[in-house]
């Protein structure tokens, strides 16, 4: 007869057989690997670095722009010929001839130039930098969100491996028990206290247990493959999983958990960043109504050949102020203000959804822990009921149907307990995810 302690020991074993050579994998280790090694986390980290480079790109607007140009032109356009001769400092009195002005000979101009432009004031620069910095913060939060999603998925996969391997072990134990029951039935058949139908019924039950074992081992293999994918290991890797941690009820009050969620959840922090981004968009839209001031300077070398050139320079400032653009600037500003209002409404929706997630996750965890406690009691009762029924069967006071019913009740109770323990583990991970841990 199998005791309840034996069944709990089955649950704590990750894989039967020779496991000494396999690497041990604790639940916390699986979570840490998933949060650091999965390709989606790596991609999120790259996106974060990309967003940081966007900040540098936006800040480049504060630095001067320097361009170097080397060009060659040839033509007989009057304006081109006139300005090229002046730039080359080769203009003479003969070039004032009307015929030469109107019909100049083709001329070459080799030009090298170095230009500098420094924007002194542009109201759109700071909002652009602020938007880029907010984008960097958002990328970091998305990476954190990805890590939390993977942690929850890793817990679920880890629990499913333990669940199905424990179910397979229980099914194999059920087969062994059915074989022993079949022996008893045959012994009774020989003395005339049982029928051939009793023996066949028990054999059918043993076959059903073998089928359950095959199905559970198949699902356990699929769950192991999923777990390996999540932790960034080879799909064929084999690990010895540590037993499930003990169940723990929700120790903190729901209002405290809600406060933690409002402070830590990435989606809520992302909604705040989106609001701030909308505010930066308003500032950028308003900058279109302000003037732009810039300094420009340049140094040129012009010549009729590549090796003979004359130099010249030019500096100046420019103020540009848009007076009218078809009311486009006004529409852009109104659109940015509407976007900010929309982000505010979305923030309220996300905050309410977060509170609901926390409450639902806490309630489901408590329910899962309660089911686990009930399931433990049911297992004890079912095991004792099977013992009594076997004794009665050996004494001829119960038939094979009662024996099979008692055996099935034990298997169902043990499966319920295993599923309840795994469900409690997954519900704990879901609560942590809802809180933003």
**Domain-by-domain residue ranges, the chain?**
4-435
E strand residue ranges, 35-77: 65-75
Give tens-digit pLDDT for 197-230.
Answer: 767 777 777 787 788 888 888 888 898 899 898 8
Q: CATH number of the domain at 4-435, out of 3.40.50.300, 1.20.950.20, 1.20.1600.10, 1.10.3720.10?
A: 1.20.1600.10
Among 185-194, 205-214, 272-281, 418-427, top mean pLDDT goes to 272-281
Mind listing the pLDDT tens digit for each residue in 71-129?
999 999 999 999 999 898 888 888 888 888 889 989 999 999 999 999 888 888 898 89
As a whole number, mean pLDDT of residues 31-47 equals 90
Distance in angstroms (rounded) separating the CA atoms of residues 129 and 150: 32
Instruction: Give the pLDDT score at 248.
Output: 58
Q: Among all chains, which residue has been given the structure tokens 């010249």?
A: 312
| CA 140 to chain CA mean position, Å | 11
Spatial CB neighbours of 17, under 8 Å, sequence gap ≥ 6: none
| Long-range CB contacts (within 8 A, 24+) of 346-352 | 346/271, 346/274, 347/268, 347/271, 347/272, 347/274, 347/275, 350/267, 350/268, 350/271, 351/262, 351/268, 351/271
Interval 131-165: pLDDT, tens: 899 999 999 999 988 988 898 888 888 888 888 88
Ranges of beta strands (E only) in 159-309 are 239-241, 292-303
Given a cut of 60, whether residue 15 has pLDDT beyond it is no
Average pLDDT of the chain is 82
429 in Cβ contact with 245 (< 8 Å): no
What's the pTM?
0.72
**Count of helices and strands (H, E) across the chain:** 11, 6
Confidence label for 397 from pLDDT (cuts 50, 70 and 90): low
- Residue 193: what pLDDT? 62
- Residue 151, φ and ψ in degrees, nearest 5: -60, -45
Over range 12-38, report the average pLDDT. 70
Q: CB of 48 within 8 A of CB of 123?
A: no
Number of C-beta neighbours around residue 25 at 10 A: 22
């Amino acid at each position: 007869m199998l005791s309840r302690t034996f069944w709990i020991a089955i649950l704590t074993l990750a894989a039967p057989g020779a496991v000494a050579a396999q690497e041990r994998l604790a639940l916390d280790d699986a979570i840490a690997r998933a949060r650091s090694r999965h390709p989606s986390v790596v991609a999120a980290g790259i996106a974060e670095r990309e967003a940081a480079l966007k900040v540098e790109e936006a800040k480049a607007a504060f630095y001067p722009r320097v361009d170097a140009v080397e060009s060659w032109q040839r033509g007989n356009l009057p304006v081109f010929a006139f300005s090229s001769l002046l730039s080359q400092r080769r203009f003479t009195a003969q070039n004032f001839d009307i015929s030469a002005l109107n019909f100049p000979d083709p001329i070459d101009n080799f030009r090298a130039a170095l230009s500098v432009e420094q924007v002194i004031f542009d109201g759109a620069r700071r909002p652009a930098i602020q938007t880029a910095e907010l984008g960097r913060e958002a990328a970091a939060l998305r990476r954190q969100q990805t890590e939390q999603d993977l942690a929850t998925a890793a817990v679920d996969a880890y629990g499913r491996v333990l669940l199905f391997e424990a179910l397979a072990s229980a099914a194999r134990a059920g087969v062994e028990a059915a074989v022993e029951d079949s022996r008893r039935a045959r012994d009774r058949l020989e003395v005339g206290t049982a029928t051939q139908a009793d023996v066949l019924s028990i054999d059918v039950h043993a076959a059903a247990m073998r089928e359950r074992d095959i199905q559970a081992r198949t699902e356990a293999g699929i769950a192991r493959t999923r777990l390996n994918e999540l932790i960034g290991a080879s799909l064929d890797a084999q690990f010895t999983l540590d037993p499930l941690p003990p169940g723990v009820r929700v120790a903190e009050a729901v209002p405290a958990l809600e406060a933690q969620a409002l402070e830590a959840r990435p989606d809520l922090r992302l909604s705040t960043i989106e609001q701030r981004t909308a505010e930066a968009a308003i500032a950028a839209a308003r900058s279109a109504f302000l003037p732009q001031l810039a300094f420009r300077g340049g140094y040129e070398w012009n010549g009729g050949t590549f090796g003979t050139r004359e130099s010249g320079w030019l500096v100046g400032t420019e103020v540009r102020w848009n007076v009218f653009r078809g009311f486009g600037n006004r529409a852009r500003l109104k659109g940015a203000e509407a976007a900010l209002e929309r982000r505010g409404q979305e923030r309220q929706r996300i905050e309410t959804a977060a509170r609901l997630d926390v409450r639902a996750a806490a309630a489901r965890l408590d329910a899962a822990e309660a089911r686990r406690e009930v399931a433990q009691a049911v297992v004890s009762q079912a095991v004792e009921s099977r013992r009594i029924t076997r004794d009665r069967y050996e004494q001829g006071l119960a038939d094979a149907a009662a024996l099979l019913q008692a055996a099935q009740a034990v298997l169902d109770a043990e499966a319920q307990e295993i599923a309840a323990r795994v469900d409690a583990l997954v519900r704990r991970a879901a609560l942590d995810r809802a809180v933003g841990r």
